[in-house]
Structure 1
Amino acid sequence: MRHRHFAPLLLAPLMALTLPAFAQTTKTGKSMTEPQVRELLTKAGYTEIDDLDFEDGMWETDATSGNRKRVDVRVDPASGQIYAEALVSQLSENDIKAKLSAAGYSNVHDVDFDDGLWKAEAERADGKDVEVHLSATDGSIIHVEND
Structure 2
Amino acid sequence: MKKTTIAWILGAASVAASLPFAAQAYNAQEVLNSITASGLVAPQDLEKQYGYWTAKATQQDGNRAYVLVSDADGSLLAIRKAELGTTYPGASQVAAKLQALGYGQIKEVEFDDGFWEAKVRGANGIKQKLVLHPVSLDVLSQPGLPAPNPGAGAGSAILSAAQIHQLLTQAGYTHIHDLELDDGIWEADAINAQGFRVDLRIHPETGVVLREKLDD
User: Smaller-chain TM-score range?
Assistant: 0.5 to 0.7
Tell me if structure 1 keeps the 8 A contact 2:54–2:69: yes
1:22-42, Cα deviation, whole Å (9 max, x unpaired): xxxxxxxx6432123212212
Q: Which residue of 2 aligns with 1:42?
A: 36
Which residue of the other structure, out of 128, 133, 141, is the alignment partner of 2:131?
133
TM-superposed CA distance for 1:120, in Å, is 0.9
Q: Which residue of 2 aligns with 1:99?
A: 97
Q: Which residue of 2 aligns with 1:17?
A: none
Pair 1:84-2:79 in alignment: yes
Instruction: Name structure 1 gaps, 5 residues minimum.
Output: 1-29
Pair 1:73-2:67 in alignment: yes
Which residue of the other structure, out of 77, 97, 106, is the alignment partner of 1:108?
106
The answer to which of 125-134 and 95-104 deviates more is: 125-134
Q: SS at 1:99's partner residue?
A: helix
CA distance change for structure 1 residues 119 and 71 in 2, over 3 Å: closer, same or farther?
A: same
CA distance change for structure 1 residues 93 and 63 in 2, over 3 Å: closer, same or farther?
A: closer
Q: Distance in 2 between matches of 1:117 and 1:56?
A: 10
Q: Report the structure, 1 or 2, having the larger helix content.
A: 1
Tell me if structure 2 keeps the 8 A contact 1:76–1:142: no
Q: What's the TM-score, normalizing by structure 2?
A: 0.43
Tell me if structure 2 keeps the 8 A contact 1:84–1:115: no
Q: What's the TM-score, normalizing by structure 1?
A: 0.57
Percent identity, please.
25
Tell me if structure 2 keeps the 8 A contact 1:88–1:116: no
Instruction: Name structure 2 gaps, 5 residues minimum.
Output: 1-23, 146-182, 184-216
Q: Distance in 1 between matches of 2:52 and 2:28?
A: 11
TM-superposed CA distance for 1:123, in Å, is 2.9
1:2-47, Cα deviation, whole Å (9 max, x unpaired): xxxxxxxxxxxxxxxxxxxxxxxxxxxx643212321221232112
Q: Output the aligned Cα RMSD.
A: 3.2
Matched to 1:84, the amino acid is I
Q: Which residue of 2 aligns with 1:61?
A: 55
